[in-house]
Chain A
Amino acid sequence: MTGSNTISDENQLANFMQRIEAGEKIEADDWMPEDYRQTLIKLISMHGMSEIMGALPEKEWVPKAPSLYRKLGIMAKVQDEMGHGQLLLRVTEDLLEPYGKNRGDLMQDLFNGDLKFHNVFHMETKSWADAGIIGWLVDGAAIITQTNMLKASYGPYARALQRICAEEVFHAQHGESIIMALTEGTDQQKAMIQESLNRWWEALLMFFGPASKETTGSSKQDLTIRYKIRTKTNEEFRQLFFDKYIPRILSLGLTIPDPTMHFDKENQMWSYKQPDWNEFKKIIKNQGPRSEARLNLRRQSYEYNSWVRDALSHSVR
């Protein structure tokens, strides 16, 4: 029996690889190799939870937004992010089905540190300019990585990304609009945006992850490329980010907080000072500047409101 199962699994794997090589989409009920499912669960649940946890740093600036128009803009943006989180957790829930796990389990995984959220959302916010930097450059970075997966071999994720990326473009424009107002504003506003860029620079470099698994000891990038979930490496993403944003940052009169940054014509690559990857390792262990505070906020509100979820699951008379 074991022997025939193995042969059958091998056939199924060959068939699966043939399908994704041919550009076919894999659906939730299709056969898939275990490491493909596991990779997707890890990737999509982390993406979903990052959208939800990512709402928290921006939410800090929702009431403080300095005009009615800005208040409306940032409220809409944060709501979109929560919507992305919901969409992605639904995709993950389908993948979790064979294990009998659900959204409640994902929340517990987040709280106990088994499910990570993106390193950029562990950072502190200090000024209104941070709302601009998050919208313009963090969402800009997200657009680069997520558009690369629009043709991902897993159909439900690729379709969710179509909508998410479309909305992220609006978010980047929202952020850019805040940045433009500040860079064209008073000396105080200009100083505010430069200080914010300086503070977020390392986090933006870390956004794409280390160039190879030697930095942190593990990386899923080889597997995600083999299974056609994505096509580019972390470093390729980072270089694309530089290509797009370095000229824009400079054109606004801002200074890149890295004097060594330059385009190396010989290698056709941007040369830059590496961020502190030891700090990155701490952040991904939930030891970043705001990791515990944001997890606590989410955990406490979740536990404090558990009576509501109990009430909803109780039959209505």
Chain B
Amino acid sequence: MSVSQNDLTLENREAITSLLFQLADDDFMYAYRGSEWLGLAPHIEADIASSSISQDSMGHAAMFYTLLEDLGAGNANDLAHSRKAIDRRNCILTERVNGEGYYMETPHYDWAYAVVRSYLYTQAKKVKIDSLCGSSYKPLAEAAVKVRIELYYHRLHWEIWFKQLMSSTDIAKNKMNAALKLVMNDFGDVFSYGNQKLAIEMTKLIGTEEEMKANWTASIEPVFTTLQLELPKIPDSPEKNGRMGEHTKDLDEALTTLSEVYLLDPVAIW
């Protein structure tokens, strides 16, 4: 049975809020890391396509923050810009830097890492969004249907990049395999629901963590088989679990940039 905002019990509300923070914070950080690439991608067409995806992802984050606002969690802009790192629920993978250096100077960003992170993150997002389309919380299910339309193109785009670079020059393959290792090291909390796991799963807001992991593995298997690559294994216990508020210093630095202007005057209209 699906429920709307007015039918929620206190327990349900906590579970939905927790899940929405995970979804919103994931896309907020992912979009930010993508936007740092603006003007720096390997060629202009790649720049346009990836910045379009970052823009869509920021739009998805805005939708999820708005659902939180509707639940009384606070103003969407405030939720995006004012919360401290310890209150953030994004997975570690989305907060990692693109490479060495600050985006305002002359950074050495790694396109292989961008491709692998984007491909595997988008594939994970697709698995979750597919499940969320049948969520017991109706506003979230409706939002997921909208996200799914755009996500189709994002996944396709990154899969093509992944296949091309994994089946090209030795340099490309080496860089992609190194990036794959880095990305998978951080994959342990991508499907974690944190301390609301039981409530999130019991109330059928989304499929279980185990279902999501299995669906994700099945979804990437054909590509990895074609490329004769070993299927990556999701780490059992992550070093840090972003869903529990455990983060790296990369997140602190990102939040300083993301909130710089907003925090000049959080009550002003910008």
List A residues at the B interface (Cβ < 8 Å).
52, 55-56, 59-72, 75-76, 78-79, 82-83, 85-86, 89, 128, 178, 181-182, 184-186, 188-189, 296-298, 300-302, 304-312, 314, 316-317
Q: A68-B61, A128-B270, A314-B168 are in contact. Are A308 and B42 (CB under 8 A)?
A: yes
Instruction: Specify which of A59, A71, A78, A307 lies most central, judged by the most chain B CB atoms within 10 Å of its CB.
Output: A71
Q: Bound state CA distance, A71 and B58, in angstroms?
A: 8
Among B11-19, B133-141, B143-151, B253-261, the stretch that binds chain A is: B253-261
Instruction: Give me the 7 closest cross-chain CB pairs, A-B, nearest first.
Output: A311-B172, A308-B42, A66-B270, A305-B42, A311-B168, A301-B40, A66-B261
Q: A63-B36, A63-B103, A316-B167 are in contact. Are A181 and B44 (CB under 8 A)?
A: no
Query: Is B175 engaged at the interface, CB distance under 8 Å to the other chain?
Result: yes
Determine the residue in chain A with the shortest Cβ distance to B80. A68
Query: Is B77 engaged at the interface, CB distance under 8 Å to the other chain?
Result: yes
CB < 8 Å neighbour of A63 from B43, B165, B257: B257
Q: Bound state CA distance, A276 and B43, in angstroms?
A: 36
Query: Is B240 engaged at the interface, CB distance under 8 Å to the other chain?
Result: no
Structural contact, B51 and A79, CB atoms closer than 8 A = yes
Structural contact, B258 and A189, CB atoms closer than 8 A = no
Query: Is B10 engaged at the interface, CB distance under 8 Å to the other chain?
Result: no
Q: Bound state CA distance, A49 and B66, in angstroms?
A: 38
Instruction: Specify which of A65, A70, A189 lies most central, judged by the most chain B CB atoms within 10 Å of its CB.
Output: A65
Q: Bound state CA distance, A61 and B261, in angstroms?
A: 9
Q: Bound state CA distance, A294 and B106, in angstroms?
A: 9
Least CB distance, A125 to chain B, in whole angstroms: 10
Structural contact, B175 and A307, CB atoms closer than 8 A = yes
Query: Is B76 engaged at the interface, CB distance under 8 Å to the other chain?
Result: yes
Q: Which residues of A contact B58 (CB under 8 A)?
A: 68, 71-72, 75
List B residues at the A interface (Cβ < 8 Å).
31-32, 35-36, 38-48, 51-52, 54-55, 58-59, 61-62, 65, 76-77, 80-81, 103-109, 111, 163-165, 167-169, 171-172, 175, 254, 257-258, 260-262, 264-265, 268-270
Structural contact, A305 and B111, CB atoms closer than 8 A = yes
Structural contact, A311 and B268, CB atoms closer than 8 A = no
Q: A128-B270, A181-B270 are in contact. Are A89 and B106 (CB under 8 A)?
A: no
Structural contact, A297 and B106, CB atoms closer than 8 A = yes
Instruction: Specify which of A68, A69, A82 lies most central, judged by the most chain B CB atoms within 10 Å of its CB.
Output: A68
Q: A68-B61, A185-B268, A188-B265 are in contact. Are A62 and B38 (CB under 8 A)?
A: yes
Determine the residue in chain A with the shortest Cβ distance to B257. A63
Determine the residue in chain B with the shortest Cβ distance to A54. B39
Q: Which residues of B contact A67 (CB under 8 A)?
A: 77, 81, 262, 270
Structural contact, B265 and A189, CB atoms closer than 8 A = yes
Structural contact, B48 and A83, CB atoms closer than 8 A = yes
Structural contact, A63 and B35, CB atoms closer than 8 A = yes
Least CB distance, B227 to chain A, in whole angstroms: 9
Least CB distance, B165 to chain A, in whole angstroms: 6
Q: Which residues of A contact B105 (CB under 8 A)?
A: 297
Using A185-B269, A189-B265 as known contacts, list a sample of 6 further A-B pairs with CB atoms less than 8 Å apart, ordered by residue number in A: A59-B39, A68-B76, A85-B44, A188-B268, A310-B171, A311-B171
Question: What are 21 A-B residue pairs whose CB atoms fall within 8 Å in the complex?
Answer: A56-B39, A66-B81, A66-B270, A67-B77, A68-B62, A75-B31, A75-B35, A75-B54, A79-B38, A79-B55, A82-B44, A85-B44, A128-B261, A297-B39, A297-B40, A301-B106, A305-B42, A306-B42, A309-B43, A310-B169, A310-B171
Q: Which residues of A contact B103 (CB under 8 A)?
A: 59, 63
Instruction: Specify which of A69, A188, A312, A317 lies most central, judged by the most chain B CB atoms within 10 Å of its CB.
Output: A312
Q: A55-B38, A75-B58 are in contact. Are A300 and B165 (CB under 8 A)?
A: no
Q: Which residues of A contact B80 (CB under 8 A)?
A: 68
Least CB distance, A149 to chain B, in whole angstroms: 22
Q: A68-B61, A310-B171, A312-B168 are in contact. Are A86 and B45 (CB under 8 A)?
A: yes
Q: Which residues of A contact B65 (CB under 8 A)?
A: 68
Instruction: Specify which of B62, B107, B269 lies most central, judged by the most chain A CB atoms within 10 Å of its CB.
Output: B269
Q: Bound state CA distance, A67 and B267, in angstroms?
A: 11
Structural contact, A52 and B44, CB atoms closer than 8 A = yes
Structural contact, B165 and A308, CB atoms closer than 8 A = yes
Structural contact, B44 and A72, CB atoms closer than 8 A = no
Q: Bound state CA distance, A311 and B161, in angstroms?
A: 11
Least CB distance, B98 to chain A, in whole angstroms: 11
Q: Which residues of B contact A189 (CB under 8 A)?
A: 265, 268, 270
Determine the residue in chain A with the shortest Cβ distance to B61. A68
Q: Bound state CA distance, A182 and B261, in angstroms?
A: 12
Determine the residue in chain B with the shortest Cβ distance to A309. B42
Q: Bound state CA distance, A65 and B41, in angstroms?
A: 21
Structural contact, B270 and A296, CB atoms closer than 8 A = no
Q: Which residues of B contact A128 (CB under 8 A)?
A: 261, 270
Q: Bound state CA distance, A82 and B55, in angstroms?
A: 14
Q: Bound state CA distance, A50 and B157, in angstroms?
A: 27
Q: A65-B261, A186-B265 are in contact. Are A317 and B38 (CB under 8 A)?
A: no
